[in-house]
């Protein structure tokens, strides 16, 4: 593999991380005797099994892809060793060498979707960014999702929730914070959110406001069990009063849930 091939792998790695896509980078770190690829050769493996570049092809490379998918799921790096004379470790008798390959998963940071970028939404985005989370801001008001209004947001989307999710699908390692300005907007957004794989879905508003929204969604055919996952009132009960305290309450609940599900 040439330097330009490695450069493409690294460019695609950077693009995948920027887009929030989990990938694993496979690098040949040591070789002995005759092998198909020299040390330093890289291959990028996506979560769906696609790959860019090559570390040698054949059965060995297929095994590396399988190990890469396991690394993406576990989030743990691993060192692979293949003896290319051993049918269990690679293509039997093809090269007769030995190779070590380092697998390094690159996992995107937990993503927080903030739907509604008014005063509370802005504070949630600022705090989430400070905590190291990736943030996606969604609002139908363009001035509220401008770079000037939300300089710390990783993604700013002007439009509907449905349009935003088509461009930025929700992954399991995500949280959703719904802090819109009306029950109509809540009711329009939630059917696209309740069955998502996100770990957390919270909706701001009083219990009465939530009851109004919930009853409306049930009347529109949204299953009750889908709505049962929603956190309302949103955030941990800490006696929050200011906008900043409300943001702390919301992010505290997200942190608690994330830490609870981690092994």
Selected residue with higher pLDDT from 95 and 10: 10
DSSP string over 125-169 = HHHHHHTT-EEEEEES-GGGGSTTT-TT-SEEEES-HHHHHHHSP
Whole-number pLDDT of residue 34: 63
On whether the CB atoms of residues 99 and 26 are closer than 8 A, the answer is no
pLDDT-derived band at 30 (thresholds 50, 70, 90) equals: confident
Whole-number pLDDT of residue 208: 95
86 and 120 belong to one structural domain: no
Q: Going by DSSP bridges, is the β-strand pair 174-178/200-203 parallel, antiparallel, or unpaired?
A: parallel
Average pLDDT, stretch 134-161?
A: 97
Last-in-domain residue among 85, 106, 127: 106
24 and 115 belong to one structural domain: no
Number of domains observed in the structure of the chain:
2
pLDDT, tens digit (0-9, with 9 covering 90-100), for 55-70: 877 888 899 999 999 9
136 and 204 belong to one structural domain: yes
Average pLDDT, stretch 220-239?
A: 96
Average pLDDT, stretch 44-62?
A: 88
188 and 223 belong to one structural domain: yes
Domain that holds residue 163: 111-261
In sequence order, which residues have a C-beta less than 8 Å from that of residue 10 and are 6 or more positions away? 42
62 and 178 belong to one structural domain: no
Whole-number pLDDT of residue 90: 45
Last-in-domain residue among 41, 76, 106: 106
Torsion 172-196-45-15 (CA) sign: negative
Residue 53's DSSP bridge partners are 43
23 and 153 belong to one structural domain: no
131 and 62 belong to one structural domain: no
User: Measuring CA to CA, which residue among 54, 35, 59 is closest to residue 44?
Assistant: 54
82 and 175 belong to one structural domain: no
Whole-number pLDDT of residue 174: 93
């Amino acid at each position: 593999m040439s330097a330009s091939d490695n450069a493409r792998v690294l460019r695609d790695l950077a693009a995948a991380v920027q887009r929030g896509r989990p990938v694993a980078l496979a690098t040949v770190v040591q070789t002995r005797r005759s092998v198909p690829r020299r040390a330093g050769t890289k291959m990028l493996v996506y979560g769906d099994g696609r790959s860019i570049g090559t570390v040698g092809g054949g059965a060995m490379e297929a095994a590396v892809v399988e190990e890469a998918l396991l690394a993406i799921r576990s989030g743990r790096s691993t060192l692979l060793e293949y003896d290319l004379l051993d049918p269990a470790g690679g293509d039997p008798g093809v090269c007769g060498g030995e190779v070590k390959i380092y697998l390094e998963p690159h996992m995107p940071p937990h993503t927080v979707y903030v739907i509604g970028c008014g005063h509370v939404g802005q504070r949630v985005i600022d705090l989430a960014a400070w905590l190291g989370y990736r943030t996606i801001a969604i609002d139908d008001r363009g001035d509220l999702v401008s770079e000037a209004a939300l300089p710390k947001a990783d993604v700013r989307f002007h439009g509907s929730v449905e349009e935003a999710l088509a461009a930025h699908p929700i992954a399991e390692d995500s949280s959703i914070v719904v802090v819109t300005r009306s029950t109509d907007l809540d009711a329009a957004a939630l059917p696209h959110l309740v069955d998502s794989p996100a770990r957390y879905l919270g909706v701001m508003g009083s219990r009465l406001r939530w009851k109004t929204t919930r009853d409306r969604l049930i009347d529109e055919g949204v299953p009750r069990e889908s709505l049962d996952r929603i956190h309302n009132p949103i955030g941990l009960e800490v006696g929050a009063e200011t906008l900043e305290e409300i943001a702390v309450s919301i992010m505290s609940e997200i942190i608690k849930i994330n830490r609870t599900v981690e092994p």
